[in-house]
Amino acid sequence: MSAAVLPRILLVEDDPDMRSMLRRYLGERGFTMQAIADPSQLDRLLSRTPYDLLLLDLSLPGEDGLSVCRRLRVGGQTVPILMLTARGDATDRIVGLEMGADDYLGKPFEPRELVARINALLRRQQMIHTETTWAVEENLRFGPFRVSLSRMELSRDGEIVPLTSTEFQLLRIFLAHPRRPLSRDHLLDRLKGAGTETTDRSIDVQVSRLRRKLEDDSRSPLYLRTVWGVGYLFIPDGQHE
């Protein structure tokens, strides 16, 4: 989370009534709100202001929310993204997660649930900055990778590997438990916050995304392996057991 007293949220929503309602409702509940109708201003705003969270509508004029999300993640933007959509298809939720979204909320929704999900993502982000109980070193290494805890950075041979906040938190969990099979339930308990919809399927999606960034061949992973019937296993040196 940024150093601002009140968390900064950027909302991209083309419906003027929804945009006005969310800006007012969330503003009254302690968030600093900025709202725009289309994503054309998004890159400029994100480059100038350290937002703590992006609320992104899926159905937008021009560039839709999925394309925006994918473009931001490819460009290295790590701000937590909560996608809002009127579509109820589970496929859309999965695709949103695969594109780099951290959470997903279908319309219509109860505004209090939105606040709970926002707070859960902000707590998760804060945990990434402050959690130190498992690590005594500032910089951790495995294979060709180096992890900086304070900067929330993963690099490979000196080159930064962009990670979302969820991917970084997931990596920290694996780093904390090397060579120990971790069940999906364990990963769910560590990743989810109150009000966050996290499922076995979304865990698989998040692991798959992280694996693609760690492995030369994600179909034959060295570091992040599947333990069938159990969950996942992190091997820091990439060697076979």
Alpha-carbon gap, residue 208 to 219, rounded angstroms: 10
Q: Give residue 201's pLDDT.
A: 72
pLDDT of residue 107: 87
Model confidence over 168-187: pLDDT tens digits? 989 988 988 888 888 888 88
55-104 confidence digits (pLDDT tens): 999 888 888 888 999 899 888 788 899 999 876 666 777 777 888 888 88
The reported pTM is 0.61
The answer, yes or no, to whether residue 135 has pLDDT greater than 60, is no
Q: How many Å apart are CA 54 and CA 82, to the nearest integer?
A: 6
pLDDT of res. 127: 62
237 or 9, higher pLDDT: 9
Task: Tell me the mean pLDDT in the region 203-231.
Answer: 90
Position 213 scores a pLDDT of 93
Q: Where are the domains of the chain?
A: 8-130, 139-234
Q: What does the pLDDT average to over 192-199?
A: 48
Burial 90-107 (b: 16+ CB within 10 A, else e): eebbbbbbbbbbbbbbbe
Q: Specify the fold of 8-130.
A: Rossmann fold (3.40.50)
What integer is the mean pLDDT of 143-155?
A: 87
pLDDT for 140 equals 85
pLDDT at site 198: 54
pLDDT of residue 223: 92
- Mean pLDDT over each residue of the chain, to the nearest integer: 83
Specify the CATH class of 139-234 in words.
mainly alpha
